[in-house]
C-alpha cells in the first residue's frame, strides 16, 4: 500500500479573473482523466471572502499579550458573529471551561444521525509576535498587494479558520445537510502550550460527544505542487540539566567544577545533534529555515538545541566574578522523532549524566514541565486497511487532482493532544506552490492559495460529513481483522 495519493499530473493556479469568477485552471491533465472541478467563486464572493479574511488578520492576537489587551475577546466575538451569520449552526457559543479573557469558540452543525462520531474542524486564532521593525509591511493591517495578503497569522493559521467558515458559507447555499455532526473549535494559546485545546478536552462538551471520527488541524504550506498531510508530530521534551561541583576562589585551579561537568555533557549533546543533522544532508553552513524543514523532512529525525546556560555566584543584581560557581545549569529543547523511542532518549540522557559526573549523581536531568514526560508517541495510522478515514481523506483530494504527501510535523500543534487520546487527527493546511512563511517576517498567503483552500474544504467537509454508520462499521471490522492477523 502506498501513502501517497497521486491521481493526476496537475499544475493548478487560482485567481480572481477578469470575467468575474475565481477559478482553478488545470495546465496538465493525465490522459483519460479529469479532476473534479474545485469550487468556483463569483468575483463578488471571492472579494467578500478576502475582505473578511483581511478583517480577521487585523486582530493582533499575540498569544502572550492578548488576554490583557482584549484582542482575544474581540477576535472571538468576530468569529462568533461570522458563525452566527451562517444561519444553520445549531449552536455557537463560548466554552464555559475557558477563561473569559481567552475564549474558545465552538460551533455545532448537528447531523441527521447525531449519535455517530463527529467530525472536528479545529483551528487556533492566536499568533506569534511580529517585530514591526523587521517587517516591510504592517503586520496587522491585512495588506493586499501583488496578489498576496500580508499579515501575522496569514499562514499560521488564520487562513484555515476563515477557510472553514467560507467553505461552509458556500456549502449552505447548496442545501447540504450533514449526516454526522460537524463541530468547529477556534482556540487560543496554541503557540504557547495549548491551553485552549486543553480546555476543550476537559469540557462537558467534549465529554458528551459520542466520539470523534476524524479531526482536522493545522499543517504547513508546500513549496511544490503537492500538499502535505501530517499524521504525527515529534514529541517535545524540555529538559533541565544540573551539575554540582566544588566552589572556591577563582584564582585557584579547582578541579571538576560544575561548569566543567556541564560542558562535557553539552559536548555529548551537540555530537548527538550533529549526527541527527547529518541525516538531513545539511551542510554546516545551512540554516534551519522553514523551507529547509519542509524539504529535508525534519520530522524524521530528532532535534536537540541548548536553549539556556546558567552559572555563577549571585551577589545582588550581579555576580561574584572571582568565585567558582558550585552549580551550573542548562536547558535542552528536544523533539523526538516517531522513529526514535522516547525511552531511548531518556536512557541516553542518563548515560550522559553518568559519564560526565565527577562524583556519583553530580550531574542530573529532569523535565521542565510534566506534560513533556510522555514516553509514548501518538500518530494517526496512514494505512487505509485500518483507517478508512485516512483513505477517504486522500481519495477526496485525489478527485480534485491534488497529490498528498504524508509527513511527520516537525514542531508541535494541538493535534498532539487529540492523538494522545487515540483520536484520528490530520494536520492539513491547503497551500501549495508557495513559500513557507509561518513565523517569518512579512508573512503572507497568496490570494490564490486562500481561495483554493476554500474550495478544498468545500469538498472535504461535505464528504466527511456525509458518511453514515457504514463507515464506523468498516472501521470496526478492519480493526478486528487487523488484530486477528497480528
Candidate list 156, 166, 189, 190, residue with the active-site label: 190
Count Cα atoms within 13 angstroms, Cβ side, for 215.
29
Tell me, yes or no, if 100 is annotated catalytic: no
Distances (CA, A) of 193 to 290, 346, 415: 20, 22, 12
Distance of CA 43 to the CA centre of its chain: 31
Candidate list 45, 126, 189, 452, residue with the active-site label: 126
Tell me, yes or no, if 190 is annotated catalytic: yes
Which three cell numbers mark 31? 490522459
Which three cell numbers mark 153? 497569522
Complete edge-to-edge strand list for the sheet that includes strand 363-367: 303-311, 327-336, 235-244, 363-367
Active-site residues: which are they? Answer: 126, 190
Amino acid at each position: 500500500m502506498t501513502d501517497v495519493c497521486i491521481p493526476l499530473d496537475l499544475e493548478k493556479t487560482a485567481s480572481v479573473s477578469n470575467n468575474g469568477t475565481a477559478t482553478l485552471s488545470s495546465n496538465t491533465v493525465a490522459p483519460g482523466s479529469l479532476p473534479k472541478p474545485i469550487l468556483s467563486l463569483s468575483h463578488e464572493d471571492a472579494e467578500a471572502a478576502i475582505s473578511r479574511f483581511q478583517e480577521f488578520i487585523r486582530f493582533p492576537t499575540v498569544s502572550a499579550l492578548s488576554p490583557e489587551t482584549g484582542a482575544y475577546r474581540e477576535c472571538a466575538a468576530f468569529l462568533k458573529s461570522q458563525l452566527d451569520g451562517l444561519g444553520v449552526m445549531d449552536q455557537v457559543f463560548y466554552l464555559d471551561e475557558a477563561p473569559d479573557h481567552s475564549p474558545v469558540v465552538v460551533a455545532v452543525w448537528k447531523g441527521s444521525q447525531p449519535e455517530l462520531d463527529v467530525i472536528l474542524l479545529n483551528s487556533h486564532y492566536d499568533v506569534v509576535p511580529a517585530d514591526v521593525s523587521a517587517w516591510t509591511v504592517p503586520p496587522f493591517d491585512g495588506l493586499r498587494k501583488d496578489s498576496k495578503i500580508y499579515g501575522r497569522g496569514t499562514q499560521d493559521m488564520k487562513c484555515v479558520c476563515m477557510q472553514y467558515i467560507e467553505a461552509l458559507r458556500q456549502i449552505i447555499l447548496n442545501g447540504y445537510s450533514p449526516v454526522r455532526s460537524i463541530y468547529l473549535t477556534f482556540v487560543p494559546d496554541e503557540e504557547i502550550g495549548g491551553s485552549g485545546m486543553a480546555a476543550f478536552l476537559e469540557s462537558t462538551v467534549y465529554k458528551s460527544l459520542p466520539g470523534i471520527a476524524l479531526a482536522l488541524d493545522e499543517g504547513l504550506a508546500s513549496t511544490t505542487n503537492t500538499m502535505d498531510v501530517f499524521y504525527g508530530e515529534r514529541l517535545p521534551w524540555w529538559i533541565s540539566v544540573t551539575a554540582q561541583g566544588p566552589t572556591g576562589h577563582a584564582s585557584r585551579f579547582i578541579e571538576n567544577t560544575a561548569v566543567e561537568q556541564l560542558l562535557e555533557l553539552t559536548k555529548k549533546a551537540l555530537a548527538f545533534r550533529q549526527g541527527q543533522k547529518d541525516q538531513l544532508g545539511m551542510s554546516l553552513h545551512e540554516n534551519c529555515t522553514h523551507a529547509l524543514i519542509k524539504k529535508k523532512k525534519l520530522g524524521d529525525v530528532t532535534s536537540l538545541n541548548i536553549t539556556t546556560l546558567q552559572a555563577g555566584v549571585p551577589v545582588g543584581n550581579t555576580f561574584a566574578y572571582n568565585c567558582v560557581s558550585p552549580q551550573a545549569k542548562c536547558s535542552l529543547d528536544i523533539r523526538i522523532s516517531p522513529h526514535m523511542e522516547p525511552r531511548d532518549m531518556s536512557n541516553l540522557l542518563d548515560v550522559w549524566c553518568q559519564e560526565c559526573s565527577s562524583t556519583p549523581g553530580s550531574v542530573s536531568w529532569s523535565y521542565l514541565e510534566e506534560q513533556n514526560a510522555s514516553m509514548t508517541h501518538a500518530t494517526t495510522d496512514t494505512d487505509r486497511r485500518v483507517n478508512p478515514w485516512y483513505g477517504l481523506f486522500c481519495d477526496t483530494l485525489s478527485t480534485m487532482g491534488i497529490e498528498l504527501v504524508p509527513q511527520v510535523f516537525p514542531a508541535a500543534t494541538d493535534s498532539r493532544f487529540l492523538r494522545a487520546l487515540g483520536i484520528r487527527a490530520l494536520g492539513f493546511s491547503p497551500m501549495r506552490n508557495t513559500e513557507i512563511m509561518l513565523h517569518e517576517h512579512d508573512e503572507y498567503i497568496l490570494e490564490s492559495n486562500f481561495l483554493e483552500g476554500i474550495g478544498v474544504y468545500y469538498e472535504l467537509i461535505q464528504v466527511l460529513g456525509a458518511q453514515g454508520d457504514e463507515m464506523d462499521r468498516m472501521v470496526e471490522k478492519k480493526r478486528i481483522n487487523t488484530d486477528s492477523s497480528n
